[in-house]
Amino acid sequence: MDQQLRDLVCGMPKAELHIHIEGSLEPELIFDLARRNGVALSWPDVEALRQAYSFTDLQSFLDIYYAGASVLLTQQDFYDMTWAYLERAHADNVHHVEIFFDPQTHTGRGVPFAAVIDGIHGALADAGTRWGISGGLIMCFLRHLSEEDAMATLQQALPHLEKIIGVGLDSSEHGHPPEKFTAAFARCRELGLHLVAHAGEEGPPAYIWSALDVLQVERIDHGVRCLEDPALAERLASSGMALTVCPLSNVKLRVFNEIGDHNLAQLLDAGIAATVNSDDPAYFGGYINDNFIAVFKALGMDREHAKTLARNSFNASFMPEHQKQAKLAEVEAWFSR
């Protein structure tokens, strides 16, 4: 990848639509917060924790990710974690970010829902003031827990709805199909929330079909296994359904053996509105621009791919239409320099 293309991709205006804020907790911050809060960790130091970041599949990652999140107790902790992510996103020229958070990971340990959402929301509001970054919060339900638990979480979120733009579905995919959450998503739709779901990361194309047809989601998170089903790929392309793809995550969690095997270029060639995102940057070896660089280098992608991906990121976002048009014009200007 030549320096000119690298500068073009790193500097282009972009939106990040698939970032789990708990997955942005760097090992150093995990240890700082553990010390601040008197939380015991099973790793002696930062190095030992980093050494543990060798995953065989999604579940092996989730086990460590939930352990890392156990250091988060106060509103200030959630603020500090989110601010650290937003500094990195700003440095990568992210203009808009839709942040996933997992309230059940915290409320299940006795942390008040308000501490979680107010800390994250406060940092996002301050990033708007400081850098003009726009964005919103997407509350994810943990799919390994029951639908009843998801409904109880939605109940806790009701007083905070103005701070949430949508809901998602994450955690262990195998054995937890989207249709397990039919009623919860129907209720969220009635409340006017945007709907997204992880599907087709490790799970089969059938999970993407049911996320679309049963949950009626507006974006698919990951979705990379869609190419195993030509009718599904055609459906995604013709409907303009966006996929939030996370290349480094897919390699770390062994969805693809190596970055050169990733199907991002094939997705784009098939006319699917794919976007590039970081998923859990502290665990997977990089933030959004690291993902762009890795995949551009490995797949020999070019300037046209970059422009398409920048445009897709804003088009797939939940920003108001007038703001979307303004951002698309900024992309156009960047590529006409």
Angstrom distance (rounded) from CA 246 to CA 284: 10
Count other Cβ atoms within 10 Å, centred on residue 35. Answer: 11
Answer yes or no whether residue 177 interacts with ligand ADE by CB under 6 A. no
Q: Which residue sits closest to ligand ADE, CB atoms considered? A: 170
Nearer to ligand ADE, 104 or 171 (CB): 171
Q: Decide if residue 249 touches ligand ADE (CB under 6 A).
A: yes
Structure tokens at 139: 């509350």
Q: Kindly tell me which of 23 and 119 has the beta carbon lying closer to ligand ADE.
A: 23
Shortest separation between residue 76's beta carbon and Zn ion, angstroms: 25
| Closer to ligand ADE by Cβ: residue 255 or 309 | 255
Helices (H), the chain: 3-11, 27-37, 46-51, 58-69, 75-91, 103-107, 113-131, 147-157, 182-190, 205-213, 230-239, 247-252, 264-269, 281-284, 288-299, 303-315, 321-335
Q: Which is nearer to ligand ADE, 12 or 278 (CB)?
A: 278
Q: In what order do the strands lie in the sheet with 242-245?
A: 14-20, 94-101, 134-142, 166-170, 194-199, 219-222, 242-245, 273-276
Of 287, 279, 326, the closest CA to residue 171 belongs to 279
- Tell me the Ramachandran region of residue 101: left when phi exceeds 0, alpha when psi lies from -120 to 50, beta otherwise: beta
Q: Which does 290 bind (CB under 5 to 8 A by kind): Zn ion, ligand ADE, none?
A: none
Site string for ligand ADE, 131-170 (x = CB under 6 A): ---------------------------------------x
Q: Which residue, 16 or 279, is less far from Zn ion as judged by CB?
A: 279
Decide if residue 77 touches ligand ADE (CB under 6 A). Answer: no
Q: Report the partner that residue 23 touches, choosing among ligand ADE, Zn ion, none (CB closer than 5 to 8 A by kind).
A: ligand ADE
Within 8 A by CB and 6+ apart from 152, the residues are none
**Tokens representing residue 6 in the block:** 């690298």
Smallest separation (angstroms) from Zn ion to the CB of 291: 13
The rounded distance, in Å, linking the Cα atoms of 199 and 177 is 8
Query: Which DSSP string corresponds to 173-191?
Result: -TT--GGGGHHHHHHHHHT
- Three-state helix/strand/coil letters over 279-293: ECHHHHCCCHHHHHH
Closest to ligand ADE by CB, 75 or 171: 171
Which of 12, 14, 17, 23 touches ligand ADE (CB under 6 A)?
A: 23
* 20 forms part of the interface with ligand ADE (CB under 6 A): yes
Rounded (10°) CA dihedral 5, 8, 14, 16:
40
- Which are the catalytic amino acids? 201
- Tell me if 279 contacts ligand ADE by CB under 6 A: yes
* Contact partner, 171, from ligand ADE, Zn ion, none, Cβ < 5-8 Å per class: ligand ADE
Beta bridge partners of 101: 139
Decide: is 171 part of the binding site for ligand ADE (CB under 6 A).
yes
Q: How far is the CB of 16 from Zn ion (least distance, A)?
A: 12
* The token pair that represents 222 in the structure block: 């990951």
Return residues touching Zn ion (CB under 5 A): 279
Fill in the DSSP letter of residue 218: S
Using rule CB under 6 A, residue 98 touches ligand ADE = no
Residue facing Zn ion at closest CB distance: 279
> How many residues sit in the footprint of ligand ADE (CB under 6 A)?
11
Footprint of ligand ADE on 188-247 (CB under 6 A)? 198, 201
Instruction: Work out which of 9, 19, 29, 58 binds ligand ADE, going by CB under 6 A.
Output: 58
With binding defined as CB under 6 A, does residue 290 bind ligand ADE? Answer: no
**Contacting positions for ligand ADE (CB under 6 A):** 20, 23, 58, 65, 170-171, 198, 201, 249, 279-280
